[in-house]
Amino acid sequence: MSGHKVTMLGTGLIGLFYTQTLHGKRNRDRVEVVYSRSQERAAEFAKQFDVPRSTVDLEEAVADPDTDTVLIGLPNHLHEETVELCARHGKAVLCTKPLARKAEEAKRILDTVERAGIFSGYLEDLVYTPKTLKALKAVQAGQIGDVTWARSRETHPGPHSAWFWDAKQAGGGAIVDLGCHCTEIIRNYVGKDNRPVDVMCWHDTLVHPIEAEDNAIALIRFESGAIGQFEVSWTFRGGMDLRDEVAGTEGTIWTNHFLRTGFELFSSGERAGYVAEKAETTSGWMFPVGDEVVELGYVDMFADMFGAMDEGREPMETFYDGYVVNAVMDACYRSAESRRWEPVQLDDWRGGGARRIAPARREWDGKTLIKQEQMPDGRLKLIVKDEATGEFSDVVTEGEPLSKS
Amino acid sequence: MSGHKVTMLGTGLIGLFYTQTLHGKRNRDRVEVVYSRSQERAAEFAKQFDVPRSTVDLEEAVADPDTDTVLIGLPNHLHEETVELCARHGKAVLCTKPLARKAEEAKRILDTVERAGIFSGYLEDLVYTPKTLKALKAVQAGQIGDVTWARSRETHPGPHSAWFWDAKQAGGGAIVDLGCHCTEIIRNYVGKDNRPVDVMCWHDTLVHPIEAEDNAIALIRFESGAIGQFEVSWTFRGGMDLRDEVAGTEGTIWTNHFLRTGFELFSSGERAGYVAEKAETTSGWMFPVGDEVVELGYVDMFADMFGAMDEGREPMETFYDGYVVNAVMDACYRSAESRRWEPVQLDDWRGGGARRIAPARREWDGKTLIKQEQMPDGRLKLIVKDEATGEFSDVVTEGEPLSKS
Amino acid sequence: MSGHKVTMLGTGLIGLFYTQTLHGKRNRDRVEVVYSRSQERAAEFAKQFDVPRSTVDLEEAVADPDTDTVLIGLPNHLHEETVELCARHGKAVLCTKPLARKAEEAKRILDTVERAGIFSGYLEDLVYTPKTLKALKAVQAGQIGDVTWARSRETHPGPHSAWFWDAKQAGGGAIVDLGCHCTEIIRNYVGKDNRPVDVMCWHDTLVHPIEAEDNAIALIRFESGAIGQFEVSWTFRGGMDLRDEVAGTEGTIWTNHFLRTGFELFSSGERAGYVAEKAETTSGWMFPVGDEVVELGYVDMFADMFGAMDEGREPMETFYDGYVVNAVMDACYRSAESRRWEPVQLDDWRGGGARRIAPARREWDGKTLIKQEQMPDGRLKLIVKDEATGEFSDVVTEGEPLSKS
Amino acid sequence: MSGHKVTMLGTGLIGLFYTQTLHGKRNRDRVEVVYSRSQERAAEFAKQFDVPRSTVDLEEAVADPDTDTVLIGLPNHLHEETVELCARHGKAVLCTKPLARKAEEAKRILDTVERAGIFSGYLEDLVYTPKTLKALKAVQAGQIGDVTWARSRETHPGPHSAWFWDAKQAGGGAIVDLGCHCTEIIRNYVGKDNRPVDVMCWHDTLVHPIEAEDNAIALIRFESGAIGQFEVSWTFRGGMDLRDEVAGTEGTIWTNHFLRTGFELFSSGERAGYVAEKAETTSGWMFPVGDEVVELGYVDMFADMFGAMDEGREPMETFYDGYVVNAVMDACYRSAESRRWEPVQLDDWRGGGARRIAPARREWDGKTLIKQEQMPDGRLKLIVKDEATGEFSDVVTEGEPLSKS
């Protein structure tokens, strides 16, 4: 029943969420050393979370003899060199999203850990929200049939730290910050063996005085014919909007992770208080979530990561997934530029292939059955096509609906 | 306080909704004659709705000496010739959506009524839902600032009549059937003076054994920089999903017209009953709407149409709007083919022009203010950019937020 | 197709809603004369709604030779004398809720119209909301089985006019103002033939500096065993909360008429506007309704009232219903005083009687079946009682669920 | 960082949830021995959850030398003797809800642990749901002002095990099973120092062929004037309905723990699967929760319990709370019998006392201000009372709203 000892790199919002999660409830894993570029922030963080040691020396933190796992919560442009340090010191490495700024950087990172033979995990928390995990089970059990469409939306008024807004450090804007979440959520819904074929993307900088995009929409076409759709924005008003929708041939899934989760609070505002990450108001109607680190997936994510380490298996989200996500985002940027569909360039595709969405043809009286529905009066209405003549017609009958098989 | 006497053309679902609306509540307009291609359906409809006369002769119905207004509820390929009949007989004409199958057909229809000088109105009901009307007022009053994005979604398991499924009669599939609603909803939100510049569209036939598309997604880019997004499907499971979302620089609007309107019903199904248009179940959790013809906009639409006639003004939705919608849909089909953005071809653009979305730049200490937010501890966090060096930085201060002006 | 000509008495919020409804859309009934105690308000109202005549003479308004129907929108203590005027002048009379301050006053009003033989209708709008009307149909069709419980909740921050707050004029506080709605909604759900037997009520004056109650909760026990529950408050924060819930042996109904109807609006508040009756905010998250007079039932209520007059039938809500409601409320006040259940005193009960809720006993293996449920593994779990020994036991079996009959 | 070793008594649904929680995620506490009355169930449970030892000897399980804590998940009538065993063996004891069948039994249990000086905790999970914990913080921070009303509702189609249905073993029906949750939720919202003064309760056996009540509603009046309200039912259709509502002088809270939490799934039912505790359907619209043991409060409950043990403090929910809950429920049963308010008999009241809800009187122009509201045109409308004459009047003014202080 022993836990892991962790080196935490970075003391920003993500480092805070990670450490809150590890030190929360009855968890058995602990942060033993924390690194920040600023001595003051490192010390303050260590004090706040009761972390034994703090340092401003990145390699010292990674090499700490007491820890077995490194958590990377640093800006995107520092991921590659940090993973190299982990490889050098033989540490398990868990890296925050996105894995890299571009697919080729991601591929080098992937190669590094595979060459070194160290455990690695991709910290894509939103794939691990309790709702997403249960929804994925429903999809995998066939409850909604073949997935035809998955929409993932993440929008809020913009990130909390300066480096996100600097395209050089971040590698882009809202796509790199938020689209990586959406892409991986979509991949999980359509199936990871389902190759992302090509991408159509629009982006623009509509509101903020920056060069990076603050709004983007993308369509991702998969081998099966399924379509992924993401909407990301740094200009949304009203809080943080995290919603996914999935359509299948036999069903539908809607998840709302943040703004409408069955918790509604009105306050006249005579007294104010902290409501939730990226909420905009402290009076009027507010929509907190119960436990942010649970609802955002952090708890289940670390359970999977450390569980995988202990059980000698791969985690649900790997550095390879991070690489695929970067490849999709690279295609997004190319498409926004070329204004056409762009192929997703994956030199290293490990998926197994997916069959085309294809419900069986059903016949009625020698004609193709297009649709059937029960009418208010109990009779059955069929729409059928005569393949010989190409004619469509309505038929109303007393019979029972045709079954699928 | 006198009402209008109406010729109703068509006895399908749309004719039924139109007539239910006119004959419902304390309305003062009445259907006097109904036309159907089938004598039986015409007679049955007349009986059901207490309509004095029925006929299978289209021109006779249009020319009826007692009626002043013709309602076209016929398949798309019959709109043009029917409008010509109305013009010939000098009748006010109200035509169901879409106005035509293609923009050039729509343009000829528009020319016909303008030459004849007859009153015409475009029966785009979903623009008139009570929620949309109130939301449009909020937008026009500036409550959400400049609109940056509008999503309109209409999906259900497929239409009720055979002709919809036949691309020749309908002019297309889900785009022509449902995308016309979405396009016009979006135009209303971004402003009708805001020219639709170009369009990016994906469509596919994923589930039904037909040639027309059963799923489509489109992006519409407007002159202001605003982006419209529609999602249409004939393969949705779970009822009829009619939702719109609008993002603005100062706010957000979400409307749900059908599946989640504050009416929830669970039934064990021991006894079943009619629930709502395109509902799929009669047991388990169901989500009826209160009054379908109100919630779908029919009541307010006809109030506007007949009110406009009486007051000698244009209705909110005109044949010109129908023409613009067809032009956008034409571009959608071209884009789905070419796999790139396609311009919206509008030979006759009557809009006034829209300025680019552009919030004013604000300064803090000589730097560009990117973002400001109140921290849980009450202090203010600013993200600023030094335009000289291009550097971004965080500043935490005790001060008050900067105002907009 | 001719409409009615109406005398409108009162120019407060209710008179405004009534007149907006009659003059809205394509309605064919019109207000011809308006009465107010204040010349200024009468004239202003007449101008606002294009009403031909206004007066401060109550009898003159009632006796107006051009109108056939009188709408009473006056404070409660004026209902009786006004109905007497209507009887004297032989006018159809529609009276706002509550019918009277006490049951004996209501009974005299009822006797007056019945003696005079004039048409009368009880303007209980919330029974006519589109959702309630459809929900009642579902209940009457048996979709939720026998009703066991109905909760009706109406709460807001307090009424808009001074007289409501004065127990002498109003006859009470929140119970008389809001409980009358709830009581009648509940009666419709449990069935009007179902006699209200006795009542248990709590009330208190918790917040406002008045003598009348500003909060109350009541339980109403019906002959069938069904229980009604109402919660009324003048101290609710967050808008106007209008929700009903109904439980039946075969189903459940939840309706939300105002605060959560699928319309959500966030505004930073840079520009404000009117949102909805009794909303508290003009920024942050707001929840308008589409069309207030539709959603609050006014449109369907007047359609029923004038339809009933035209068709020579009783309206859905009669003065007799108003009398029963007053009798229930009288029992509420007695119970709040005595702190025990108090009988509902109905000297004149016209209902037909209701049978006790009583699902059939089902047997399994000679034992009484208490409950059956499908287990996750597909097996059936039964809970049974041996009536001989009184022992309860669990049984897990492979079989099919027992049907109801 | 070491965890606790636990004896688990009982292998029913509650034992399963407790053990799932302890053995889930990265938790550091473990069940070491499990007891059941049935050898088979004990062994099966041990195997399923990887528990080292199982037994049918209750005292052996309690006395297990390796465990420090006993979890009681047994039927209500066994709690007292089991707690005595824990006292005898000096084990920390955590007991499921309700603590006992009657207050006097609860008081003996409380006395037993206090005499023995052992750690004890009351496993009232629903007080620990993440939403409730955050809502309680908001209330305690004053965000909704003084609590005036708290409604707690727990209804479902009936419990899973036979003993619940037997009033002798359980001590009652739906009140004892579910009302204990509600009572304690309400106490937390109104404040635990706020003495429950008296109780009004209705119960009936409407649907199931049992002697115990299958439906009940209770009002609990507290010292401050606040009113608690619970609704419990074993006859609800549609799943498990767990909702709380709180009204305060400055705000409102609504929490929905189960049926509407932002997760919606439609399935045609071609393939079925397990959805959630007490769900009734496997097709149509379903509403799963993300992670049941999180959403139902088990995770946070055990974190508090073991945290309290480690830190030498009291847990949030103590045996004393369990005793108060039993006292309230005893009064409920007396009231249902006597049909009047009944005092809550608490021989041992440890609360500190609560002041009466009492907003300050505000004056306007020498009169009492009853209400103020902003009108659509921006003016301020006041309702004031002249205390000298007792007259109420409306005032419309251009001024600013009066502040609270």
Residue of D144, D217, D370 with shortest CB distance to C208: D370
The residues, any chain, with a CB within 8 Å of residue B396's CB and separated by 6 or more, are: B375, B379, B380, B381, B382
The tokens for C304 are: 């029923």
B199: DSSP letter = E
Nearest to B227 by CA among A156, A17, A213, C336: A213
Q: Is the dihedral of CA B251, B255, B261, B266 positive or negative?
A: negative
Report chain C's mean pLDDT, rounded to a whole number: 94
Residue of B267, B284, B287 with shortest CB distance to D283: B284
Task: Report residue C82: phi and psi, to 5°.
Answer: -70, -40
Q: How far is D283 from chain B (nearest CA, A)?
A: 8
Q: How far apart are CA D70 and CA D305, in angstroms?
A: 12
- CA-CA distances (angstroms) from residue C80 to C9, C62, C76, C103? 13, 14, 8, 12
Q: How far apart are CA C28 and CA C45, in angstroms?
A: 20
Nearest to C199 by CA among C179, C169, C177, C181: C179
CA dihedral of B349, B351, B352, B357, whole degrees rounded to 10: -110
Report chain A's mean pLDDT, rounded to a whole number: 94
The residues, any chain, with a CB within 8 Å of residue A140's CB and separated by 6 or more, are: none
The answer to whether the CB of B3 falls within 8 A of the CB of C26 is yes
Mean pLDDT of A382-403: 87
The answer to whether the CB of B229 falls within 8 A of the CB of A200 is no
Return the partners of chain C (3 or more C-beta pairs < 8 Å).
A, B, D
Contact state of D238 with C251 under an 8 Å Cβ cutoff: yes
Return the partners of chain D (3 or more C-beta pairs < 8 Å).
A, B, C
| Spatial strand order in the sheet of C53-55 | C53-55, C30-35, C5-9, C69-72, C92-96, C120-123
Q: Which helix (H) or strand (E) holds A231?
A: strand A227-233
The answer on pLDDT for B274 being more than 70 is no
Q: How far apart are CA B370 and CA A162, in angstroms?
A: 9
Q: Which band of pLDDT confidence, cut at 50, 70 and 90, is reported for residue B404?
A: low
Residue of D237, D239, D266 with shortest CB distance to B237: D266
pLDDT of residue A405: 47
Q: C-alpha B354: how far from its chain's center? A: 21
Contact state of A162 with B361 under an 8 Å Cβ cutoff: no
pLDDT of residue D378: 75
Q: Contacts of residue D276 in chain B, CB cutoff 8 Å?
A: none
Q: Contacts of residue C273 in chain B, CB cutoff 8 Å?
A: 137-138, 141, 143
The tokens for C43 are: 């004239």
Q: Which band of pLDDT confidence, cut at 50, 70 and 90, is reported for residue C403?
A: low
Mean pLDDT of D262-283: 73
Q: How far is B197 from chain A (nearest CA, A)?
A: 14
CB atoms within 10 A of CB D388: 8
Contact state of A291 with D134 under an 8 Å Cβ cutoff: yes
Residue of B133, B139, B143 to mutate when probing chain C, most C C-beta within 10 A: B143
Q: How many CB pairs under 8 A join C and D?
A: 161
Q: Which band of pLDDT confidence, cut at 50, 70 and 90, is reported for residue A353?
A: confident
Q: How far apart are CA D158 and CA D214, in angstroms?
A: 8
* pLDDT tens-place string over residues B285-335: 999 999 999 999 999 999 999 999 999 999 999 999 999 999 999 999 999
The answer to whether the CB of B176 falls within 8 A of the CB of B164 is no
Residue of B236, B250, B340 with shortest CB distance to A340: B340
Mean pLDDT of A222-238: 97
Residue of D267, D284, D286 with shortest CB distance to B283: D284
Q: How far apart are CA B145 and CA B153, in angstroms?
A: 22
* pLDDT tens-place string over residues B52-74: 999 999 999 999 999 999 999 99
The answer to whether the CB of D243 falls within 8 A of the CB of D185 is no
Q: Among all residues of chain B, which has the CA nearest to that of A226?
A: B206
Residue of B198, B215, B235 to mutate when probing chain A, most A C-beta within 10 A: B235
Kindly state the percentage of chain B with pLDDT values over 90: 86
CB atoms within 10 A of CB D400: 9
pLDDT of residue B405: 47
* pLDDT tens-place string over residues C109-144: 999 999 999 999 999 999 999 999 999 999 999 999
Mean pLDDT of D359-371: 87
pLDDT of residue B75: 96
Q: How far apart are CA B185 and CA B200, in angstroms?
A: 18
Contact state of A238 with C285 under an 8 Å Cβ cutoff: yes
Contact state of D285 with B238 under an 8 Å Cβ cutoff: yes
pLDDT of residue C361: 82
Nearest to D98 by CA among D77, D119, D116, D69: D77
Q: How far is B142 from chain D (nearest CA, A)?
A: 16
- Tell me what ipTM this predicted complex has: 0.94
The tokens for D76 are: 């209500």
Contact state of C286 with A281 under an 8 Å Cβ cutoff: no
Kindly state the percentage of chain C with pLDDT values over 70: 96
pLDDT of residue D405: 47
| Long-range CB pairs of B14-20, under 8 A, 24+ apart, other chains included | B14/B73, B14/B96, B15/B45, B15/B71, B15/B73, B16/B45, B17/B292, B17/B293, B17/B296, B17/B298, B18/B71, B18/B73, B18/B123, B18/B298, B18/B302, B19/B45, B19/B49, B19/B51, B20/B49, B20/B293, B20/B298
* pLDDT tens-place string over residues D71-114: 999 999 999 999 999 999 999 999 999 999 999 999 999 999 99
Q: Which band of pLDDT confidence, cut at 50, 70 and 90, is reported for residue A402?
A: confident
Residue of D162, D227, D361 with shortest CB distance to C394: D162
The tokens for D14 are: 């509650």
Nearest to C259 by CA among D254, B244, D155, B275: D254
Q: Among all residues of chain D, which has the CA nearest to that of B279?
A: D284
Q: How far apart are CA A304 and CA A121, in angstroms?
A: 9
Contact state of C238 with A286 under an 8 Å Cβ cutoff: no
The answer on pLDDT for D244 being more than 90 is yes
The answer to whether the CB of D244 falls within 8 A of the CB of A114 is no
The answer on pLDDT for D395 being more than 60 is yes
Contact state of C227 with D221 under an 8 Å Cβ cutoff: no
Q: State the burial class of residue C47 (Cβ atoms within 10 Å of its Cβ: 0-12, 13-18, 19+).
A: exposed
Residue of B142, B260, B303 with shortest CB distance to C26: B303
The answer to whether the CB of D62 falls within 8 A of the CB of D82 is yes
Q: Contacts of residue A147 in chain B, CB cutoff 8 Å?
A: none
Q: C-alpha B90: how far from its chain's center? A: 28
Q: Among all residues of chain C, which has the CA nearest to that of B307?
A: C26
Q: How many CB pairs under 8 A join B and D?
A: 36
Q: Which band of pLDDT confidence, cut at 50, 70 and 90, is reported for residue C401?
A: confident
User: Could you give the 3-state DSSP secondary structure of residue A324?
Assistant: helix
Q: Contacts of residue A268 in chain D, CB cutoff 8 Å?
A: 145, 250-251
Q: How far apart are CA B168 and CA B200, in angstroms?
A: 23
Q: Among all residues of chain C, which has the CA nearest to that of D225?
A: C206
Q: How far apart are CA C394 and CA D312, in angstroms?
A: 41
Residues of A with CB under 8 A from a CB of C: 237-239, 266-268, 280-281, 283-287
Residue of C209, C361, C381 with shortest CB distance to D370: C209
* pLDDT tens-place string over residues A61-120: 999 999 999 999 999 999 999 999 999 999 999 999 999 999 999 999 999 999 999 999
Task: Report residue C322: phi and psi, to 5°.
Answer: -60, -40
| Spatial strand order in the sheet of B30-35 | B53-55, B30-35, B5-9, B69-72, B92-96, B120-123
The answer to whether the CB of A182 falls within 8 A of the CB of A227 is no
Q: Among all residues of chain B, which has the CA nearest to that of C134?
A: B290
Q: How far apart are CA D48 and CA A369, in angstroms?
A: 48
Angle of helix B180-190 versus helix B319-338 axis, rounded to 10: 110
Alpha-helix residue ranges (DSSP H) falling in C296-403: 298-311, 319-338
Residue of C383, C386, C404 to mutate when probing chain D, most D C-beta within 10 A: C383
The answer on pLDDT for A284 being more than 80 is yes
C340: DSSP letter = B
Q: Contacts of residue C237 in chain A, CB cutoff 8 Å?
A: 266-268
* pLDDT tens-place string over residues C362-395: 899 899 999 888 776 778 889 999 999 989 998 9
Nearest to A138 by CA among A227, A221, A246, A295: A246
* pLDDT tens-place string over residues D120-141: 999 999 999 999 999 999 999 9
The answer on pLDDT for D280 being more than 80 is no
User: Could you give the 3-state DSSP secondary structure of residue B286?
Assistant: strand
Q: How far is B342 from chain A (nearest CA, A)?
A: 9
Q: How many CB pairs under 8 A join A and B?
A: 161
pLDDT of residue D278: 60
* pLDDT tens-place string over residues C265-319: 999 887 655 555 566 677 899 999 999 999 999 999 999 999 999 999 999 999 9
The answer to whether the CB of B67 falls within 8 A of the CB of B309 is no
Contact state of C285 with A283 under an 8 Å Cβ cutoff: no
Q: Among all residues of chain D, which has the CA nearest to that of C391?
A: D166
The answer on pLDDT for D189 being more than 60 is yes
Q: Which band of pLDDT confidence, cut at 50, 70 and 90, is reported for residue B398?
A: confident
Q: Contacts of residue A235 in chain B, CB cutoff 8 Å?
A: 148, 247, 249
Q: Among all residues of chain C, which has the CA nearest to that of A280?
A: C284
| Spatial strand order in the sheet of A120-123 | A53-55, A30-35, A5-9, A69-72, A92-96, A120-123
pLDDT of residue A304: 98
Q: How far apart are CA A305 and CA A316, in angstroms?
A: 8
Residue of D16, D48, D149, D355 to mutate when probing chain C, most C C-beta within 10 A: D149
How many alpha carbons lie under 13 Å from residue A86 in its C-beta half-sphere? 32
Nearest to A29 by CA among A2, A8, A58: A2
Residue of C238, C266, C267 with shortest CB distance to A266: C238
Q: Which band of pLDDT confidence, cut at 50, 70 and 90, is reported for residue D276?
A: low
Residue of B23, B51, B265 to mutate when probing chain C, most C C-beta within 10 A: B265
Nearest to D319 by CA among D180, D120, D88: D120
